[in-house]
Every structure is written in structure tokens, then in C-alpha cells.
Amino acid sequence: MRLVQGNEAVVWGALAGGCNFYAGYPITPATEIMEYMARLLPGRGGVFIQMEDELAALAAVIGAAWGGMRGMTATSGPGFSLMQEHIGYAAMSQTPCVVVDSQRVGPSTGQPTMPAQGDVMQARWGAHGDRPALVMTASSVKDVYDTTRLGFEWAYAYRVPVIILLDAVLSHMRENIELPAVAPSPEISQPTGGMSPPFGPYPFVPFSAATRTIVSGLAHDESGATRGSGIGAASERILQGALRQIEKDASRIARCRTDRLEDAEWAIVSYGITARAARSAIDLLRRDGVRVGLLELHTLWPFPEHIVREVARKVRGMLMPELNLGQLVLPLRSAVEGICPVSALGRADGELFTPEAIAAAMTEEIQQIEVGGRVSHHA
């Protein structure tokens, strides 16, 4: 048992996932991730490099992946905005990598030390064009470890940049947890040789003497060719294939945790640090005899529509509290439309919701539904 900080748990989770390359640029509240990496990676045969900015940081990670290393970077809002360019590049070039965004209040410089959940849409749609996206979040230090480890697994399984959303509180929070021992220098065997085409539904094969891969952000076919007729169609085919693969595995990818939903008439749907307040809110409401349960989403994108629908069929109403002015509530509403009403509760002032505030919002929604009125959307 040890006192571990959220940002430190990112690093141990990454190492357990085989991470051996980190490039970054410091920013509150993600800086400790970089500091731990700088301390730990070189002694374990890995590479740590501080780059000149966030664009360069993710570019270095992408290059490292093609060079045969398993890389990640971490940042916060302003840096995450800068990284959108290369998140798109990683998606286009099907390069596995992990990007951690510890969310703080935005837009722009905002409140550097205060928590937010304002990047959940940016994590899905921030880069231009269409792309498959895998975005996960966490609500405890142990979760952060597990999620980061899994992030590396999925980055390679689906050949995408996996995005992990934390927040200023979780990043700096310490909890006493049991961390599994991480092997001193994990042996990662990368596939070598060029038996299959470098792009499309094939395993990621880094550069080697046997490959002649050209990596480009231009539209390309499975061989990497960027010219000739049919490149547009080929590029769309690769993209569609990647989207379909993730869709096919939706039930495996959609990770969530439920709490007291068995007999629930009402559900709070929440994610990240806000889910901790929601769990306490449920204690308060249950004490007053309100049958309410929690659906905590760990995977945010692809949005777990099948899970929220299943819960929606069993309850009379849902509440989504989030530290933004109404973002993830949009896909939630569209997924459960016609099944059950959804209220939004949002704030973007840098403070967490208290359990009391969430309980009050749930009570208000219940009253409105029980008097038969339409639910107001007080986002």
C-alpha cells in the first residue's frame, strides 16, 4: 500500500503498458507526468525528451512509434489544442500512441490549476476530418493506472491515438493503493518484416530493414501510395474499416461501472472526477428513500450508446452532471431519446460539484417529472 498521485499512476500504468518513449512539454496540471517519466524512463532503457512545444511533442511520439518504440505524451487544454494537428496525423497514419489530457478550465489559458471536463468533445472531434477515436477517462488513482495501461493495449490493437482524459483534481490527487509491480524493463516484441501492407486492417509494423513504408498525412491506399486514381476511395476504405472494427468491438471497448442500479428508478450518468461526487450524492438520496443509481462511464468515445439505452429503459429519468456547460449530455440525449428524459447539470468555474448539489439537481428533476411537467434543461 502506497500513497500515489494521479499523475504518478499515469506513469506506472504506461510502463506496465510497455511505454518506453516519452516526449512532452510541461504544463499544469500534467507536469508531474513528465517529471516522473524523466526520472524513470532513462534508467529503464527508455527515452525521455522535452520538446520545444506540444506540436513537436506528439510529432516525436509518432516518429518514435514508427521507429519501434511505444510512446506517449501528456498535456492540458492549451497544449491539447496544439496537439490536434498531430492527433489527426496519428489517425491518418494509423500510428499507435497515447495522449493524456489533464483537463483544466478553458478556453485559452483559463484557470491553469482548476479542474474541468471541457475537452470531452475536443477529444472526439478536435482534429479536422473523420477519424476513429478511443477516449477513456478515470475517477480514481487506481483507475488512472489501469486506464493508461489499457490505453497502450488499445492503441496497438486498433492503431489509433488513444486519448485519456484526466482533470486537475485527479492528476494531483493522492490515494493509498496497491500498485502491481512493474517489470524493470518490459520486453516488447514489435512485429517485424513487411509481409502485410503497412496500412489498413493490418498490424502496425514499425520501420525495419525489411520494410519500405512511406508514412504520410496525405490520403493513401493500403500500400502507402498517395498518388493515382482511387486514392480518395482507398483512404475512405481504410477509415471505414477502422471505424467498423471499433464498432464491432463496442461491447469490449465500452467500459463502465454501475452502482445501485438494480432497483433504481432514477439514474445519474457521470464520468471522471464528477462520478465520485455522484456516488456520494446517491448515498444522500438513498438516505431519503430515493431509489437512484449511478452509471459511471469509463469509455467516452465511442459513446457507449447500447449501455446508456439499457439503463434508460429501466429508469424514469437521468441526470448528467459534468464540469462543462453541456457536452457529453448531447450524445447521451440523442442515444436515449424517446426512452427517458435527461437533465443536464453543468459548471465551468473551476470547482467540483458537491454531492449536495448533484442530489439537489436530481431531486428537482424528479419533482418536475412527477408533477408531469416537461424536464427543463438547466445546463
Rule CB under 8 A: which residues touch another protein?
1, 3, 28, 111-114, 169, 172-176, 273, 276-277, 279-280, 283, 352, 354-356
- In whole angstroms, the minimum distance from the beta carbon of 86 to another protein comes to 27
- Grid coordinates of 16: 506496465
- In whole angstroms, the minimum distance from the beta carbon of 238 to another protein comes to 43
Return the SS3 of 6: helix
Nearer to another protein, 84 or 274 (CB): 274
Nearer to another protein, 91 or 114 (CB): 114
- In whole angstroms, the minimum distance from the beta carbon of 302 to another protein comes to 28
| Cα 117 from Cα 216, distance rounded (Å) | 32
- In whole angstroms, the minimum distance from the beta carbon of 311 to another protein comes to 20
Nearer to another protein, 124 or 298 (CB): 298
- In whole angstroms, the minimum distance from the beta carbon of 151 to another protein comes to 23
- Grid coordinates of 23: 516526449
- In whole angstroms, the minimum distance from the beta carbon of 44 to another protein comes to 23
Nearer to another protein, 1 or 371 (CB): 1
Backbone angles phi, psi at 146, to 5 degrees: -60, -40
Instruction: Check: CB of residue 170 under 8 Å from CB of residue 32.
Output: no
Strands 71-75 and 21-24: parallel
| Cα 275 from Cα 327, distance rounded (Å) | 15
Nearer to another protein, 3 or 183 (CB): 3
Nearer to another protein, 136 or 352 (CB): 352
> How many CA atoms lie less than 13 Å away from 285 in the CB half-sphere?
29
- In whole angstroms, the minimum distance from the beta carbon of 173 to another protein comes to 5
- In whole angstroms, the minimum distance from the beta carbon of 172 to another protein comes to 5
The string over 199-229, giving b where at least 16 C-beta atoms fall within 10 Å of a residue's C-beta and e elsewhere, is: bbeeebbbbeeeeebebeeebbbbebeeeee
Nearer to another protein, 113 or 367 (CB): 113
- Tell me the H-state helices in 288-354: 305-314, 329-336
Instruction: Check: CB of residue 278 under 8 Å from CB of residue 358.
Output: yes
Nearer to another protein, 113 or 240 (CB): 113
Nearer to another protein, 81 or 270 (CB): 270
292 bridge partner residues: 266
- In whole angstroms, the minimum distance from the beta carbon of 343 to another protein comes to 20
- SS3 for 221-278 is CCCCCCCCCCHHHHHHHHHHHHHHHHHHCHHHHCCEEEECCCCCCEEEEEECCHHHHH
Burial class (CB in 10 A: 0-12, 13-18, 19+), 2: exposed
- In whole angstroms, the minimum distance from the beta carbon of 111 to another protein comes to 8
Write the DSSP string, 94-151. Answer: T--EEEEEEEEE-STT-EEEEE--TTHHHHHH-SSS----EEEE-SSHHHHHHHHHHH
Nearer to another protein, 176 or 196 (CB): 176
